[in-house]
Structure 1
Amino acid sequence: MTRPRILVVGAGFAGVECVRRLERRLAVDEADVTLVTPFAYQLYLPLLPQVASGVLTPQSIAVSLRRSRKYRTRILPGGAIGVDLKAKVCVVRTITDQLVNEPYDYIVLAPGSVTRTFDIPGLTDHAYGLKTLAEAAYIRDHVIAQLDLADASDDPAERASRLQFVVVGGGYAGTETAACLQRLTHAAVKRYPRIDPALIKWHLIDIAPKLMPELGDKLGRSAQEILRRRGIDISLGVSIAKAGPEEVTFTDGRVVPTRTLIWTAGVVASPLIATLGAETVRGRLAVNAEMTLPGSDGVFALGDAAAVPDEAKGGEGAVCPPTAQHAMRQGKHVADNVIAALRGGPMYPYAHRDLGLVVDLGGKDAVSKPLGVELRGVPAQAVARGYHWSALRTNVAKTRVMTNWVLNALAGDDFVRTGFQARKEAKLKDFEFTDAYLTPEQVRSRVEGAGRAD
Structure 2
Amino acid sequence: MARPKILVVGAGFAGVGCVRRMERRLDAGEADIALVTPTSYQLYLPLLPQVASGVLTPQSIAVSLRRSQKHRTRIIPGGAIGVDTKAKVCVVRKITGEIVNEPYDYLVLSPGSITRTFDIPGLVDHARGMKTLAEAAYVRDHVIAQLDLADASQDPAERASRLQFVVVGGGYAGTETAACLQRLTTNAVKRYPHLDPSEIKWHLIDIAPKLMPELGDKLGLSALKILRDRGIDISLGVSVAKAGAEEVTFTDGRVLPCRTLIWTAGVVASPLVGTLDAETVRGRLAVTAQMTVPGHDGVFALGDAAAVPDLAKDDEGAICPPTAQHAMRQGRRVADNVIATLREQPLQPYIHKDLGLVVDLGGADAVSKPMGVELRGLPAQAVARGYHWSALRTNVAKTRVLTNWLLNAAAGDDFVRTGFQARRPATLRDFEYTDAYLTPEQIREHAQGGQFLKK
TM-score norm. by structure 1 comes to 0.98
How do 1:111-190 and structure 2 match up within 5 A?
111-190=111-190
SS of 1:288's partner is coil
Shift of 1:448: 2.5
How do 1:51-450 and structure 2 match up within 5 A?
51-68=51-68, 70-450=70-450
1:17-60 deviation digits (Å, cap 9, x = unpaired): 10011111112211111000000100000000000000000000
1:6 matched residue in structure 2: 6
Paired amino acid for 2:284: R
Paired amino acid for 1:141: D
Shift of 1:418: 1.2
Structure 2 stretches lacking a partner, 5+ long: none
Work out the number of aligned pairs and report it. 451
1:370-404 deviation digits (Å, cap 9, x = unpaired): 11111100110011001000111111111100000
Structure 1 stretches lacking a partner, 5+ long: none
1:280-333 deviation digits (Å, cap 9, x = unpaired): 001100000000011111000000000000111132011111111110010011
2:49 matched residue in structure 1: 49
Stretch of structure 1 that moved more, 131-140 or 314-323: 314-323
SS of 1:67's partner is helix
C-alpha contact 1:142 1:421 (8 A) present in aligned 2? no
Shift of 1:2: 0.9
C-alpha contact 2:122 2:244 (8 A) present in aligned 1? yes
The 2-side partners of 1:294 and 1:68 are apart by 32
Shift of 1:449: 3.8
| RMSD of aligned alpha carbons | 1.0
1:23 matched residue in structure 2: 23
The 2-side partners of 1:99 and 1:35 are apart by 16
The 1-side partners of 2:220 and 2:47 are apart by 20
The 2-side partners of 1:71 and 1:317 are apart by 40
Q: Structure 1 pair 253/302, CA: closer, same or farther in 2 (3 Å)? A: same
C-alpha contact 1:9 1:109 (8 A) present in aligned 2? yes
Shift of 1:236: 0.2
Paired amino acid for 1:408: N
Q: Structure 1 pair 69/448, CA: closer, same or farther in 2 (3 Å)? A: closer
1:394-428 deviation digits (Å, cap 9, x = unpaired): 11111100000011111112201112133111101
Shift of 1:343: 1.1
The 1-side partners of 2:271 and 2:7 are apart by 18
Shift of 1:69: 7.1
The 2-side partners of 1:414 and 1:265 are apart by 30
Shift of 1:440: 1.7
Shift of 1:443: 1.0
The 1-side partners of 2:404 and 2:197 are apart by 27
Shift of 1:67: 1.2
Give every structure 1 segment of 4 or more consecutive aligned residues whose post-TM-superposition deviation is greater than 3 Å.
Answer: none
SS of 2:342's partner is helix
SS of 2:66's partner is coil
C-alpha contact 2:20 2:69 (8 A) present in aligned 1? no
The 2-side partners of 1:247 and 1:69 are apart by 47
The 2-side partners of 1:324 and 1:71 are apart by 24
Identity of aligned residues (%): 82
SS of 1:349's partner is coil
Paired amino acid for 1:56: L
C-alpha contact 2:81 2:438 (8 A) present in aligned 1? yes
